[in-house]
Structure 1
Amino acid sequence: MVKPVPFIRNHQYNFIKKQVDLLERACHSVTDPKVVESVRYNAHFNIMEAFPDAADLQKQMLESVSALRTEREFQHYLHSLEPYLTEFPEVTGKQLAKLFPKNKKLKLPDLTAIDYRYVTYFGWVDIATNKLFIVYRLNGQLVGMEGRFIPANKSVCFLCNRHAEVALFSAVTKSKPANASPDYYKAIGNYLCVDSEVCNKHITDVTALEKFVREVVGTHES
């Protein structure tokens, strides 16, 4: 049996789920066939547009969204894609210690409890220090960010665009203007989900995340 070749990242899978959910709701609640077919066309178009470099067999698999009609078919479609999810690089305590060398007493979450298929970014909070730590793979390399984590009222998370329990995450950028003084200091802040695991289940686009990471770690697009 040929082993599945992963090609769907977590945020892309979330995007597919969102399109499938819209189509399923239309199939079950809309009586006008033309409206349903319009939603069906949009779901197919949006999913295919998200995978411009997909191979022929991958395209065939994704395109089958057009044929879905029943609740069972919708569930089967999503379940059939799970073997093709690419995993976030599994991280170890030593790797995290290297990413955050200034934190000699770095408190880590239970790394064995993480399903890396459903991780776009790896984040955890150290309640004792009110710090949030984020790890992301940018240009093939793991990078780490840390910053102050101040719980706020419900608002929109800048990563998953959901109205949820958020906190203000502010990190000091390593990027400096060419003529900056030695004591140049700039913090960048954004509201994001208090629960990183929940955020990872809903993030459908990494544009905002990658822009933020580049601003903080000082890495620019090549």
Structure 2
Amino acid sequence: MNHKQFMRNDQFNFIKRQVQQLVNGHGTVNDERVIGALESLSIERVVDLFTDITDEHKEMLNKIVEIVDKEEAEQFLLELESYVIPFSKPSEQKLKKLFPKVKKLKLPSEGLDYHKMSFLSFDDIGTKKRYIIAPTPKGMIGLSGTYEETNIKQICAICNRLTNVCMFMTKTKGDGIGTYTKKGNYICRDITDCNHHLVTLDKLVEFVENVK
């Protein structure tokens, strides 16, 4: 991580959403007072995402109020992307540590964009297993379960939006010896898309705790 990277992927997605709302506002509202209020609210929400940021970063974020059209929005977001902290790519050793019980662990495919990730997920199509690595207050956690394709739209337990989902089933040890508890959660079928729509880590942390 270099010194200028200070925001997570979900925070970038949140800012992106604010930018889109501003562009929409400029395109549909003629009242300057309404636009002014929209800009004030946007910058307040964006700055509130960060507990301590440098003046340089604050200045960068303040440019959001100068955005009027789609072109300016794209330029701003392009510049902002270089401030995103990429998800830490796990080594093979780290993966084995996170999933100690998996004998033949399929590794994530090459060429994944770790800059646009809040969590890492990869599937083993042969065994219909899905592996998820997610940050929690206690550090990185590895979850594994089976996934079943569905033809329905439901609310994803991770990004909290109505989308095409799969059923992610996990098995955890029960209270009695040899007993297991099965849990099912609807999560995005397309995990890249899920990462692109995550605007807070709250639901992700909740999902991990629920599965664990």
Runs of 5+ in structure 1 lacking a partner? 218-222
Instruction: Tell me the residue number matched to 1:77.
Output: 76
Instruction: Tell me the residue number matched to 1:48.
Output: 47
Structure 1 CA distance for aligned equivalents of residues 180 and 68 of structure 2: 56
Instruction: Tell me the residue number matched to 2:105.
Output: 106
- Greater per-residue strand proportion: 2
- Does residue 139 of the first structure (1) align with residue 121 of the second (2)? no
Pick from 182, 190, 196 the counterpart of residue 195 of structure 1.
190
Please give the secondary structure, in 2, of the residue aligned with 1:7. Answer: coil
Instruction: Tell me the residue number matched to 1:33.
Output: 32
Pick from 122, 132, 135 the counterpart of residue 120 of structure 2.
122
Please give the secondary structure, in 1, of the residue aligned with 2:82. Answer: helix
Deviation (angstroms), 1:136: 1.4
Report the TM-score, using the length of structure 1 for normalisation. 0.85
Pick from 176, 192, 198 the counterpart of residue 181 of structure 1.
176
AA aligned to 1:161 is N
Please give the secondary structure, in 1, of the residue aligned with 2:123. Answer: strand
Deviates more, 1:185-194 or 1:43-52: 185-194
Structure 2 CA distance for aligned equivalents of residues 104 and 202 of structure 1: 33
Q: Deviations 1:143-197 (Å, cap 9, x if unpaired)? A: 20001212221112122222221011122346x7xxx333453233321101111
Over the aligned positions, Cα root-mean-square deviation in angstroms equals 2.0
Structure 1's consecutive aligned runs of 4 or more residues displaced over 4 angstroms after TM superposition are: none
AA aligned to 1:151 is E
Deviates more, 1:88-97 or 1:17-26: 88-97
Instruction: Tell me the residue number matched to 1:220.
Output: none
Runs of 5+ in structure 2 lacking a partner? none
Q: How many residues align?
A: 210
Instruction: Tell me the residue number matched to 1:161.
Output: 160
